[in-house]
Structure 1
Amino acid sequence: MKHLKNIAMVLCMTLVLNSCKHEKQELKMEVFETSESGNRLKQLTSFQPAKNKATIELFPEITFQKITGFGAAFTESSAHLLNQLSKANRDTILQAYFSREGANYSLTRTHMNSCDFSLTNYSYAPVEDDFSLKHFSIEEDMDDLIPMIKEAMTISKDGFKIFGSPWTAPPWMKDNNHWVGGKLLPKYYDTWALFFSKYIDAYKKEGIDIWGFTVENEPHGNGNNWESMHFTPKEMTDFVEFHLGPKLEADGYGDKIILGYDQNRAGLKEWVDEMYRSPSSSKYFDGTAIHWYESTYEVFPEDLQYAHNRAPSKYLIETEGCIDAEVPVWKDDAWYWKKEATDWGYDYAEEKDKHLHPKYAPVNRYARDIIGCLNNWVDGWVDWNMVLNRQGGPNWFENWCIAPVIVDPDKDEIYFTPLYDIMVHFSRYIRPEAKVIKVENTDKELMITAAKNPDGSIAVVIFNEGMTNKSFTIKLFNQSKDIQISKQAIQTIVIPKT
């Protein structure tokens, strides 16, 4: 009998242990929220139980694209404004963008030659018919742009990639001999390819390593307004395949990244089909660059999916997006959550495309677009200017826009708009080499993306665009936790490696 009692006790203990083993445990996490009600990257530590809960389940074993990074562009306008501020405020801004405690940007862009967010028109190759570019010089960048980049490099502990984008070749290389519009003359194709190589050399001498390039900012043009140069898909592909790619390779820069296209997402098909038309053209294109200006709300998932499927191993990077055609609203956080902003298309889009450009809330546009991109194979997302003034410039064409950080240099004041917080929700917590993972969500009113970082942690970004608070259970394997998110709010949930 004693023997049978011992067996019974063992069986009972085994059942209890197995029950404990499979019992759901509380999931450890940190939760950060930015909301219309006033939270700004606030860490939330207590949550109320709720009856009607959605379920968000994470599947880290099912992965998609690898993240290249998040960041913004170094422009002459931003750099010039920083030079007008006190050292304390300049440091505050650069720390906010590049320190680990700030946005910790990992992927950045800059313009080659001038752009609309420059003080004037200029080129590194000002001398006509200088086929060998003996007079090539980045002197124009020495006062503002290069010091800003160098200081950011000093602050960044993890480092960041930087790619260059030309808005135009110098006018003397173009068929219209003008800064705006026109095409690159075939006789200058080799000279223009050399220009990219010279740029790498010049920046390297300043201690700045260029990661790569987009071939041309907005090859469709920009309505004949500011610096631009037109390419068809075939013209750009021919230039890369027969001139730029081979030149960089010959000069020892074959490892530099070349991104094609670099304009709005609609119409991607014709570009990627041409870029990857053959093994010899695909060899030199490392990926595709895209912008968001086609719509204030539409992500164009079909176009993004097509671009990825056409070249699954290549980069797909959002290289520019901003609140355009708006003068910044100063120190009024609430405005950024309201559907009062308009974009270029609100006034100027063709009638058939007007529906793509309704009024919108700037915060919503950022959050929706970044999440939508990450859920459709985009691996990098780069904002436009880091810093602008209260007019939305300086901009030589008066093409006013909004940046996440607005400054008043006359009063030496800074305003971090809620757009800055939105960028931090992604850039600080989803790091380069992270992999986007599968998420199942029972509340379709919540927009969600998630990624597993190289250190094993998981970052989940949730956007509640609606006007009511939401409750949900977040599940990972046999662990879970109940969470609430405020109305009109974005949360980043960080789950440590288990």
Structure 2
Amino acid sequence: MKILKTSIYCLLISAMSCNTQPEQLNVEIFETSASGNQLTSIKPMVNDKEIDTLPIVRILPDQKYQTITGFGGAFTESSAYLLNKLSKTNRDLIMKAYFSEEGANYSLCRTHMNSCDFSLDQYSYTPTEDKELKDFSVKEDMDDLIPMIKEAQTISKDGFKLFASPWTAPPWMKDNKEWVGGKLLPEYYPTWALFFSKYIEAYKDQGIELWGFTVENEPHGNGNNWESMHFTPEEMTDFVQNHLGPKLEADGYGDKIILGYDQNRAGLKEWVDVMYATEESSKYYDGTAIHWYESTYKIFAEDLQYAHQKAPDKYLIETEGCIDAQVPVWKDDAWYWKKEATDWGWDWAKEEEKYLHPKYAPANRYARDIIGCLNNWVDGWVDWNMVLNKQGGPNWFENWCIAPVIVDEDNDEVYFTPLYYIMAHFSKYIRPGAKVLGIDQSDADLMITAAKNPDGSTAVVVFNEGKTAKQFNLWLNEKRTSVNISAQAIQTIIIPTK
């Protein structure tokens, strides 16, 4: 009887016990690698006698975490200007690569209100001192920025959420009367709130619906380099609680999302403590925005966890990241996988913090950070410029950076860097409304995240930073497949709906 019970048990389960062969897990695998794969479809491993000894990656479908808001990049004047310099063929190529279902299918995007460092010059929608903002106009955006956004809307089948960020109020509203630095004068808090409302109206008139805003890009400032305006946590919360939130509500825009903070993660705890201190202070905040520039490689997991616990029902979105302080390398994929880049932080970091800014591989930074964010409650990740030129501009401050797509506007050439494909590993396959799932893994050298999409499919993203190919068994429930991932590679593994 005991033997019979054991036999029945073995028949009822399809696990590794009792020498039963687990049922095959059907998957599609797409890989981008230093060896040349670019979202290339690859096959699972062929089962052999050694397969049971491989490391295990197990998806835990009962462990559900945050709901994904989206992935994408920023519409900037620099990017839009460059697109207007290209042939229609190459412009269409880039826009479809970002917004079509066949491409990266971006779902969450950002743009700037007034000028920013990636504008061609400094401008405001309200250049004239007038508290009623009678001369408010987005005419500066009509030639480049608005057409780019509208074209993206036409291409995108599912649509995308768009939020806007101001770098600064016009100088006449500030205590220093300058584009750079200074604070918003309290007497202009109501006027600045009105500015947001008028911006919604102006863009709506152009057929563009705003999803929401961040209150201020980098409220700590940026070293007094380009457009900025300083807020303390208390000042921003006062503005949101008593002016911006009530104004949008009164004007019928209470559904617009308001994200506070919008700078590096090292300052996150201080900000969320103030933003979410009371029911009144947190009423109009829908979430928190963060950047990645505090460190080349550190994810600040503890700070992200803290921010989530402080406001577990609110958004936590990475709103800007890029390979900064770097002229792009043209048509050399290998460079993006080598530890040859540094970052702006190397210049400003204290000596004892230089270790946070070593040489790094740009491809690694994107893959590591996005996976690390998803595994620490971040629900959206937005890149910076979508398109830049071979110099890393244009922009008025000559603040050169890299974008996933680089163009030579003079010769009408386009280069899709490895960073484009890495972004697509997330944006194309992890869709808005997906639920991040738990993962149990036995190979600590692999970075892994997983999410179940609204259509029932599951996307697993695996990053192998090492210079040796790896193999592992992927389990979901009692089904298994075996996977080989190349050295220096990122994979998205799609498990279809049943």
Shift in CA distance, 137/20, structure 1 to aligned 2, threshold 3 Å: closer
What residue in structure 2 maps to residue 75 of structure 1?
76
DSSP 3-state at the match of 1:318: strand
Q: Is the 8 A contact 1:23 1:478 kept in 2?
A: no
Q: Which amino acid aligns with 1:118?
A: S
What residue in structure 1 maps to residue 301 of structure 2?
301
What residue in structure 2 maps to residue 428 of structure 1?
428
Q: Which amino acid aligns with 1:105?
A: Y
Shift in CA distance, 280/412, structure 1 to aligned 2, threshold 3 Å: same
DSSP 3-state at the match of 1:266: helix
Q: Is the 8 A contact 1:346 1:359 kept in 2?
A: no
Deviations along 1:150-171, whole A, 9 cap, x unmatched? Answer: 0000000010000000000000
Q: Is the 8 A contact 1:118 1:396 kept in 2?
A: yes
Equivalents in 1 of 2:398, 2:11: separation in Å?
A: 70
Equivalents in 2 of 1:217, 1:59: separation in Å?
A: 37
**Are residues 1:161 and 2:171 paired?**
no
What residue in structure 1 maps to residue 227 of structure 2?
227
> TM-score if structure 2 supplies the norm length?
0.96
Q: Is the 8 A contact 1:110 1:163 kept in 2?
A: yes
Shift in CA distance, 44/189, structure 1 to aligned 2, threshold 3 Å: same
DSSP 3-state at the match of 2:221: coil
Equivalents in 1 of 2:11, 2:25: separation in Å?
A: 20
Q: Is the 8 A contact 2:14 2:478 kept in 1?
A: no
DSSP 3-state at the match of 2:62: strand
Deviations along 1:392-440, whole A, 9 cap, x unmatched? Answer: 0001000000000000010000000000000000000000000000000
The within-5 A match list for 1:37-52 is: 37-48=35-46, 49=48, 50=50, 52=53
Deviation for aligned residue 1:13: 11
Q: Is the 8 A contact 1:114 1:121 kept in 2?
A: yes
Equivalents in 2 of 1:438, 1:445: separation in Å?
A: 17
Shift in CA distance, 408/445, structure 1 to aligned 2, threshold 3 Å: same
Deviations along 1:336-393, whole A, 9 cap, x unmatched? Answer: 0000001012233111211100000000000000000000000000000000000000
DSSP 3-state at the match of 1:61: strand
The within-5 A match list for 1:235-314 is: 235-314=235-314
Deviation for aligned residue 1:86: 0.2
Deviations along 1:200-253, whole A, 9 cap, x unmatched? Answer: 000000010000000000000000000000000000000000000000000001
Equivalents in 2 of 1:145, 1:72: separation in Å?
A: 14
The within-5 A match list for 1:328-347 is: 328-347=328-347
What residue in structure 1 maps to residue 67 of structure 2?
66
Q: Which amino acid aligns with 1:409?
A: E
Shift in CA distance, 197/47, structure 1 to aligned 2, threshold 3 Å: same
> TM-score if structure 1 supplies the norm length?
0.96
Q: Is the 8 A contact 1:337 1:363 kept in 2?
A: yes
- Identity between Structure 1 and Structure 2 (%): 73
Equivalents in 2 of 1:246, 1:236: separation in Å?
A: 14
What residue in structure 1 maps to residue 396 of structure 2?
396
**Are residues 1:111 and 2:112 paired?**
yes
Q: Which amino acid aligns with 2:115?
A: S
DSSP 3-state at the match of 1:58: strand
Deviations along 1:87-132, whole A, 9 cap, x unmatched? Answer: 000000000000001000000000000000000000001101x101
Equivalents in 2 of 1:178, 1:352: separation in Å?
A: 33
Equivalents in 2 of 1:143, 1:196: separation in Å?
A: 21
Deviations along 1:71-90, whole A, 9 cap, x unmatched? Answer: 00000000000000000000
Deviation for aligned residue 1:18: 4.1
Q: Is the 8 A contact 1:117 1:394 kept in 2?
A: yes
Equivalents in 1 of 2:348, 2:7: separation in Å?
A: 74
Equivalents in 2 of 1:12, 1:243: separation in Å?
A: 70
Q: Which amino acid aligns with 2:192?
A: W
The within-5 A match list for 1:440-451 is: 440-451=440-451
Equivalents in 2 of 1:173, 1:14: separation in Å?
A: 78
Q: Is the 8 A contact 2:56 2:442 kept in 1?
A: yes
What residue in structure 2 maps to residue 91 of structure 1?
92
Shift in CA distance, 15/231, structure 1 to aligned 2, threshold 3 Å: closer
Which moved further from structure 2: 27-36 or 47-56?
A: 47-56
DSSP 3-state at the match of 1:267: helix
Shift in CA distance, 391/11, structure 1 to aligned 2, threshold 3 Å: closer
DSSP 3-state at the match of 2:266: coil
Q: Which amino acid aligns with 1:174?
A: K
Deviations along 1:423-458, whole A, 9 cap, x unmatched? Answer: 000000000000000000000000000000001100
The within-5 A match list for 1:152-231 is: 152-231=152-231
Q: Which amino acid aligns with 2:64?
A: T
Instruction: Kindly tell me the number of residue pairs found equivalent between the two proteins.
Output: 488
What residue in structure 2 maps to residue 140 of structure 1?
140
Q: Is the 8 A contact 2:14 2:23 kept in 1?
A: no
Equivalents in 2 of 1:436, 1:204: separation in Å?
A: 33
Shift in CA distance, 117/23, structure 1 to aligned 2, threshold 3 Å: same
Q: Which amino acid aligns with 2:365?
A: R
Q: Is the 8 A contact 1:436 1:450 kept in 2?
A: yes
CA RMSD of aligned residues (A): 1.6
Deviation for aligned residue 1:46: 4.7
What residue in structure 2 maps to residue 3 of structure 1?
none
User: Which protein has the larger Cα radius of gyration, Structure 1 or Structure 2?
Assistant: 1
Shift in CA distance, 12/412, structure 1 to aligned 2, threshold 3 Å: same
**Residue in structure 2 matching 1:24, options 13, 22, 32:** 22
Q: Is the 8 A contact 2:44 2:482 kept in 1?
A: no
